Structure 1
Amino acid sequence: MVTDRIGFIGVGLMGQGMATNILAAGYPLSVMGHRNRAPVEALVGRGATEAATPKALAAASDIVLLCVTGSDQVRAVIEGEDGLAAAGTKLTIVDCSTSDPSVTTRLAADLAPRGIVLIDAPLSRTPKDAWEGTLDVMIGGAAVDVARVRPVIETFARRVVHTGPTGTGHTMKLLNNFLSLGYGALYAEALMLGQKSGLTAEVFDQVIRGGRMDCPFYQTFFKYVIERDRDAHQFTLENALKDTSYLNAFAQSRGAANPMAAAVRNSYAIAVGTGHGGDYVPMLSDIIAALNGLPPR
């Protein structure tokens, strides 16, 4: 039986599909709007309630999910006179954003004396998976708290992995994104070298697709490269830079030498620094080509 009231902040590319599945499972849902009104209005049309502030949303909720850009945005909706914490009620906050693990652990410790539990539950896969309820989720938190929120998360997730205490979900997410964004940087550079050598992207794809180096990330990346479908992989270069910057800061905090992660970050820093932050990750292939005097495909 559904008993918990759910709040949701961040009904964007991923969040709208997630929130829609929560509603479909019968949970009472409150959402908070942002600049894009269309997702909020669509959810309200399905039975959700709109809250004017995080504080008001917290007062109407038992569990609040956040699906925002990163740690700065998470702190903005939790702290302050109109933040979630200001409601003064016992609350479980599930941060599905890709955040800095060190910020997550500090924030969890600060909130605990106020009766607020913070769990990190970042996501993997695509907006399409959010709508289909097939996301992968990495959860950091105490076992009892994870057990409480798991039924809600399973409305939009196919695979849920408990990674350990709070903060480990965000750490694992950074490692996951290091691998995927590292592939993106490698693909872009390999395509540029192939183009300089007279090898087309189609030939490249014929060799890689179906082989040991193929994977779903490769397939969405190359759906743009081959088919020029700009919406095939909707993750911005600006967000890629944020995530790789978080990873490098995390490595520094651990005293670790991480030459590969530093190189990957610089690929995305170049893209953002040349004015392409709003473009999607597969478009890095065009940017690296252009920097080497080559036309886009």
Structure 2
Amino acid sequence: MAKPVIGFVGVGLMGHGMAKNIVEKGYALRIVGNRNRTPVEDLVGRGAVEAATPRDLAAACDIVLLCVTDSATVEKIVRGPDGLTAGARPGLIVVDCSTADPNSTLALEAELGRMGITFCDAPLSRTPKDAWEGTLDVMVGADDATFETIEPVLATFAGRIVRVGAVGNGHKIKLLNNFVAMTYAAVYSEAFTLAKKIGIEPQALDSVLRGGRMDCGFYQTFTKYLLDRDVNAHRFTIRNAHKDLRYVSGLATASGVANWIGAAARNYYATAEATGHGDDNVPQLSDVIAGLNGTRLG
């Protein structure tokens, strides 16, 4: 049986590595380029074909993956005059790997379903390095038949694929995952700032935390910046973290759930973005919090 033709929109930090793995593992791949031509040219050099618009992509593909910034961008790609729905035929599967608002996801599923198009969610965890190496975690919201169809494609760039139920559940769980991670980043930043203010150097606190019960992969990438000043240790921007925590707040509000810790963390990211640090990576939040408290960690 012939492999499906795959389309990809969003060949940025995460998407470049994902698309690289798809084409290198034997799938015909079509991509929509963006202003950064470097990943586009790299992928074309590996055998991908560039399409002019999402409309053209949809007309030529069986499965289209999206890996973009937010739900507003997803909706534009799907619904725009040259969007996916303008060129799609019944039977197309659209897989949203972005971190998105679940309410938007469910609306798109219903809207596209009336056109005979399947929309499902498969957001990601881990880093661009994992995307390049094909070891991402993917959490999938899809029905049985759709999951069976898309799983081999996801496996080209994923080390772990977890099906989490119906459409929308992937994005809900991804937001919960990011809520935990981004809140930890704020906690780490406060803890190291407080340590510095009371005369304890960051390396001393790290010597207790590292290797203990509070150690984890996220802590290690976070402190690779905080201690070693590796700005690329965790390439996820404060702007995107703030966006995700706003989505979490929306979920909590809609569900009538108190979200005090989320609100506190969200305000740290809001402060960082408002003071010009939106394009910094998440571990650099530690510099912002230290500065607010009149000290420096680096």
TM-score by length of 2: 0.98
Counterpart of 2:110 in structure 1 is 109
Residue 2 of structure 1: how far off its partner (Å):
4.5
- Could you report, residue by residue, the CA deviation over 1:5-53 in whole angstroms, capped at 9, with x for unpaired residues? 0000001111011001001110000001111000000000011000010
For 1:40, give the aligned amino acid.
V
Residues 59-78 of structure 1 aligned to structure 2 (within 5 Å): 59-78=59-78
Counterpart of 2:295 in structure 1 is 294
Residue 255 of structure 1: how far off its partner (Å):
1.3
Counterpart of 1:236 in structure 2 is 237
For 1:181, give the aligned amino acid.
M
Counterpart of 1:40 in structure 2 is 40
1:269 is the counterpart of 2:294: no
Give the match's secondary structure for 2:95: strand
Give the match's secondary structure for 1:295: coil
Counterpart of 1:169 in structure 2 is 170
Residue 264 of structure 1: how far off its partner (Å):
1.2
Moved over 6 A (4+): none
Counterpart of 1:144 in structure 2 is 145
1:123 is the counterpart of 2:124: yes
Counterpart of 1:50 in structure 2 is 50
Residues 128-277 of structure 1 aligned to structure 2 (within 5 Å): 128-277=129-278
For 2:74, give the aligned amino acid.
V
Residue 88 of structure 1: how far off its partner (Å):
3.6
CA contact (8 A) 1:133 1:156 kept: yes
Counterpart of 1:23 in structure 2 is 23
TM-score by length of 1: 0.99
CA contact (8 A) 1:2 1:27 kept: no
CA contact (8 A) 1:2 1:26 kept: no
- Could you report, residue by residue, the CA deviation over 1:171-212 in whole angstroms, capped at 9, with x for unpaired residues? 000000011101000000111100101111111111100000
CA contact (8 A) 2:196 2:297 kept: no
List runs of 5+ in structure 1 lacking aligned partners.
Answer: none
For 2:47, give the aligned amino acid.
G
For 1:168, give the aligned amino acid.
N
